[in-house]
Every structure is written in C-alpha cells, then in structure tokens.
C-alpha cells in the first residue's frame, strides 16, 4: 500500500502550500483570518477561500477581492464542511495543503512550522498545530484520541489548559478537520473527507482511515492557531441530526464488530427510549438521523467488508 511519502519533495524542502479557508456567513471573522494568512512567514503559498452560499456571500466576494493572491471559489449552495474542504483539495495546486476556517486566525509562523515538520518527517501523513481559544488564554485542542467501543469516547488533549507540557512535536490519533496540514497527494490518496458526512465527525472518520493504513499523525506545538469561540446557545436541530447520523456511520465503517451490539443498544434503543420519555423536543432530529443511517447501513457495511 502506498505510504504518506507520495508526492513528497526532498526533506527540508520549501514546496508550495495551498491554504484552504472554508467560509460561511462570517465576513468579519473571515477578514481577520485572511489577514493572519497573508501575514504568514511562509511565502510560497496560494490561498483559496471556499465560500458556501449564505446571506453574506456578496459581502464575502467583495472582501476577498480586496486581498491580492487570494482566490475565491463561490458555491451556489451550502456544500457543508466536507463538500467545501474537498472542493479546495480538488483545486489545490500546492505540493502541501493546509485546511482552516473563517473563524480561525493563524500565528505568523504556523504554516512554516508545519511544512518544515512534514518536509523532515516522511512517515507522517497528517500534522496539525495547537489550537488556542482566542478570547481566553486556554488550549482548545492539541490533538487527541478516540475510542469506538460500546460508548463513543473522544479525548481532546490539552482542552482548557493554560499551557501544554509538550514543547516538541508528538504523535496523535486525532486532528480536527479545520487544522490539518498534509502533502496534497497524501490527502487525495485518502480521498479527502466523506462527502455524505456534510459536517461533524468527518475528521474522526478521516483519522480512522489514516490509522487503518498504519500511517501516523502528529501535533507540532510550535505552530499555533487561535479560534474565535462561538456564542453560547442551544444546539440547532440540524447539528444534532448530522452528529447522530455521522456517529452511526462512523461505527458502521470502523468500529470493532464486537462493539456494535453495545453501541446500538446504547445509542439507538436506550437513547431513543429516553428521548421519547423525557426529551421529546430532540426526538425528530434524532429519529431522522437514525433513519438515514440505517437506510445507508447495507452500503456502509459492504464498503467495510471490501476493505477488509
């Protein structure tokens, strides 16, 4: 099986990087993100803004036009996180690629740190920075791990801490989709994100594929990004729908078979009964998510068996 070395230039090279910025309805934050990107110390780059259609798309078009050497890919519809990022991957002309979003600002040396690390470590498929909260001096994510047992566990390393004890790059089993650096050929070989996930859980699924291939991932503490914390409020039904649908698909595709009975008992039967009895407001989105997941289950299990 091909390794993460696909398309790799000599160690220590300064190949061109494509920075893909996913945008949706946040022009004020996008402007800050682009200013941080165009100020990067790593100059051999192209910048693609993939804008999923929103009420602010006309504003965003004018905003992007004000930045030299930033190209806009304007979608007539909202293609979601996975559709937008995959579009950027398809259009990328750089040897390397870095994925980010409109609500994230990059430290000036972020891209240089990541590309230098990937250039020197041919065995690493994906690399990521440490993500800090913008408003408070705490870590949002420094990678992590996940477990696909009867209960789903996602451990985020460093969350809410004020410092990270690791000062040198370290291996990780999870990198959020909005802070991934890779060789473009490697990410294309993986197939990018699964488009039907739309949003949420797509990064765990991608990392599961990396792990199944025996490849490695790493966090580079010297690279930093800053995330604008979202406003507090109830979780919209559409987000609950995608989270549940994609969690079910993730398990069908990657969980150990021995974990599946416990997973379905917990997240389908027990959780469904609880919602009917005590939380009926969330039941429509939950039931719609499971209807889609179960309808797709023959295809997902068939795909899994072909990979085995």
60 and 180 together in one domain: yes
Bridge partners of residue 124, in order along the sequence: 216
User: Could you give the angle at the alpha carbon of 226 between the alpha carbons of 196 and 171, nearest 5°?
Assistant: 70
- The reported pLDDT for the residue numbered 197 is 97
Same domain, 103 and 248: no
Residues 29 and 164 in one domain: yes
Averages of pLDDT over runs of 10 residues in the chain (308 residues) are 48 80 97 98 97 97 96 96 98 98 98 97 97 94 98 97 90 98 98 96 98 97 95 88 98 98 97 93 95 97 91
Residue 5: predicted pLDDT: 54
Cα gap 31→29, rounded to integer Å: 5
Let me know if residue 209 belongs to a domain: yes
Domain of residue 256, residue span: 237-307
- Pair (259, 124) in one structural domain: no
In this structure, the answer to whether residues 171 and 104 fall within a common structural domain is yes
Residue 131 maps to which CATH number? 3.90.550.10
Do 200 and 262 lie in a common domain? no
pLDDT of res. 8 = 40
In terms of domains, do 153 and 287 share one?
no
10 assigned to some structural domain: no
For 290, the 3-state DSSP assignment is helix
For residues 214 and 299, what is the distance between their CA atoms, to the nearest angstrom? 24
Residue 133 has, within 13 A of its CA and on its CB side, a CA count of: 15
Residues 218, 279 within the same domain = no
DSSP 53-71: --TTHHHHHHHHHTSTTEE
Would you say residue 11 lies in a domain?
no
Same domain, 278 and 215: no
Residue 147 half-sphere exposure toward CB, CA atoms < 13 A:
7
């Amino acid at each position: 099986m091909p390794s993460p070395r696909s398309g790799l230039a000599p160690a220590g090279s300064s190949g061109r990087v494509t920075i893909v910025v996913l945008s949706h309805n946040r022009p004020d934050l996008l402007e800050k993100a682009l200013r941080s990107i165009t100020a990067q110390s790593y100059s051999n780059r192209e910048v693609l803004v993939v804008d999923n259609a929103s009420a602010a798309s006309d504003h965003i078009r004018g905003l992007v036009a004000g930045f030299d050497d930033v190209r806009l890919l304007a979608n007539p519809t909202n293609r979601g996180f996975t559709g937008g990022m995959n579009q950027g991957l398809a259009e990328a002309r750089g040897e390397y690629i870095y994925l980010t979003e409109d609500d994230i600002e990059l430290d000036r040396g972020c891209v240089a740190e990541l590309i230098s690390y990937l250039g020197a470590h041919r065995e690493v498929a994906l690399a990521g920075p440490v993500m800090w909260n913008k408003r408070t001096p705490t870590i949002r994510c420094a990678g992590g791990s996940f477990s696909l047992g009867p209960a789903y566990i996602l451990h985020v390393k460093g969350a809410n801490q004020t410092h990270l004890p690791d000062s040198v790059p370290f291996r990780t089993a999870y990198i959020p989709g909005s802070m991934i650096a890779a060789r473009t050929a490697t990410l294309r070989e993986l197939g990018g994100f699964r488009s039907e996930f739309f949003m949420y859980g797509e990064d765990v699924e991608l990392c599961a594929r990396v792990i199944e291939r025996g490849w490695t991932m790493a966090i580079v503490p010297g690279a930093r990004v800053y995330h604008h914390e979202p406003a507090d409020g109830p979780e919209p039904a559409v987000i609950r729908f995608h989270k549940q649908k994609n969690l079910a698909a993730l398990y069908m595709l990657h969980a150990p078979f021995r974990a599946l009975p416990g997973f379905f008992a917990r997240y389908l039967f027990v959780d469904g009964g609880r919602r009917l009895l005590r939380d009926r407001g969330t039941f429509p989105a939950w039931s719609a998510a499971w209807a889609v997941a179960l309808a797709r289950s023959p295809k997902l299990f068939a795909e899994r068996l072909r990979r085995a």
